[in-house]
Amino acid sequence: MRKEMSNSARLAMFAPLDQLGRAEAVAARLLDAITLGLLDDAEQLPSEIELAAQFRVSTVTVREALAVLRQQGLVETRRGRGGGSFVRTPAWPAPSSWAQRLRLVSLADLRDFGDHYLAVAGSAAKLASERSSPEDLERLRLTSEDLLGTTGPEATRAERHFHLEVAAAAQSPRLTNQEVQLQGEHGGLLWVPLDGEDTCRQSYAEHHAIVTAIAAADGDLARKLTEEHILSALDRLVDLHLSLETP
Amino acid sequence: MTDTRTLTGDEVVAQVSALVEEIFERLKPVLAAAETLLAEPGGAGSGTLHGIRPPVLEALGGLVIGAGFVSAPHVLSDQEFGFEWWTTTGSDQTPEQLFISLDPESPNFLDYTRQSWFTVPRDSGRRHINGPYVDYLCTDEYTLTFTLPVYRDGAFAGVVGADVYVREFERTVSRRLRSLGRRAALLNAQGRVIVSNSVRQATGSLVRDVDVPAWWTSGAEPQTMSGGATLRRCGDSPIALLVSV
């Protein structure tokens, strides 16, 4: 059975790229989609012409982007009947692919992404404090505990799931959709457990504090803690980006 | 002695009750098909789930914009999780099958066995209306999900369910609710507002001045509060009507 992320995540993935997209930007978008699992292993990519139309770039640019991904072994192109480009999901994205993705992001984009994400996740936490039922709180607690003792992709998933649950507890479909879209953009990067288990323990403590504030119906505190939690993740990301730029 | 105040909203109560019963009625053939499928010798695998498709498609329509069967873990012979779910959420209303990640190893896997539309029928053995909630697994919208437990050999084996948009439910009942002429709201068993006729009770907010969960637990008999507000159940449904003075 084919597995899919929500439609909104798919839409975000195929949103037109700013300006004349460069092959690297198309490659980066597809790389994100593959490493985030929005595109499944062995899933056939749309044709070069369709991709070009979706990203609003030329087919030549798409071809270049696919060549980059092919080199990294993330896409396989078969000729002839039933041919086309197919996704080859890595067992777990090699650190180099995250690094590559992060190198392509500008600090200006990261800051802007961070601003948007803070606005969405912070508001969601505040509203969740006003609107969470005991059932919602129980689910938030369970989800925050998912981070305990995890590393790697499990930790990333637990982070993303936690923030998704907070948005849902806010009872807001719009904030939830924004959360999903933002995660589709850079969320995979944001929640990469860069420093291993220490970061996870720290993140768990932060989640726990956020849930406690939500349970106490303290919206201002929940918002503040959520913003701090995200800011520290953004800081880690920027640090890594800078270290990559000046080897 | 008849307390006329507790009768306030008879029409709303009757309408909501009828709506709820109709939706659960639509699910009965889906339930029968799911239980038949699961009872087959050799059990059911993910490849045989399409057998329940005809009644699922039949259940769509009216307020119901999504319907199907969701299995409990390890009920299917060949995979841990599984479901057959169809929606008419597209622009042309054509039924489309829903696919979500069922692979626990996938970064997109979301464990549906934690969702209340699954846990409440599992733990209570009874039908349930979940929500209003943000259904990020299926509709991406503010939704009410009606679920019934499914059994195989007396053991819980999953749920059949139907999705209704909160906004459509609101459209259907808002005229009668407004005609009450008093501040009124339909609440779920947690005290969450499904629809109200007042700006003071926003959709999705929790009513705090009345302990609705405690009232449900103690039998949900019609009740008049000290301030004069009335709280009553809509038929056999897990939806209550709160009318303020």
Q: Collect all residues with Cβ–Cβ distance below 8 Å to A98 and sequence separation of at least 6.
A: A35, A189, A192
Average model confidence (pLDDT) for chain B? 91
Does residue A57 or residue A6 have the better pLDDT?
A: A57
In the prediction, which pLDDT does A7 show? 46
What does the pLDDT look like over A214-223, one tens digit per residue? 999 999 999 9
Q: How many CB atoms lie within 10 A of CB B80?
A: 13
- Contact between A236 and A194 (Cβ < 8 Å): yes
Chain length of chain A: 247
- Residue type for position B106: S
B58: pLDDT confidence band, cut at 50, 70 and 90? Answer: very high
User: How far does the CA of residue A55 sit from the closest CA of chain B (Å)?
Assistant: 23
- Contact between A3 and B99 (Cβ < 8 Å): yes
What does the pLDDT look like over A14-59, one tens digit per residue? 544 443 346 777 887 787 777 655 677 788 888 888 888 877 788 8
Q: Closest to A177 (Cβ–Cβ): which among B102, B108, B140?
A: B140
ipTM: 0.78
Token pair for A243: 């270290």
Distance CA B193, CA B210 (A): 12
Determine, for residues B136 and A168 on separate chains, whether the beta-carbon distance falls below 8 Å. yes
pTM value is: 0.74
B162: pLDDT confidence band, cut at 50, 70 and 90? Answer: very high
Strand partners of residue B155: B152
A246: pLDDT confidence band, cut at 50, 70 and 90? Answer: low
The CA-based angle B238-B240-B241, given to 5 degrees, is: 155
Nearest CA in chain A to B212: A133
Classify residue A80 as left (phi > 0), alpha (psi -120 to 50) or beta. Answer: left
Closest to B67 measured CA to CA, from B88, B92, B46 = B88
Determine, for residues B101 and A156 on separate chains, whether the beta-carbon distance falls below 8 Å. no
Any A CB within 8 A of B101 CB = yes
In the prediction, which pLDDT does A92 show? 56
Q: How many CB atoms lie within 10 A of CB A32?
A: 23
B119: pLDDT confidence band, cut at 50, 70 and 90? Answer: very high
From chain A, pick out residues whose CB is under 8 angstroms from the CB of B104. none
Distance, CA of A161 to chain centre: 11
In angstroms and rounded to an integer, the radius of gyration of the C-alpha atoms of chain B is 19
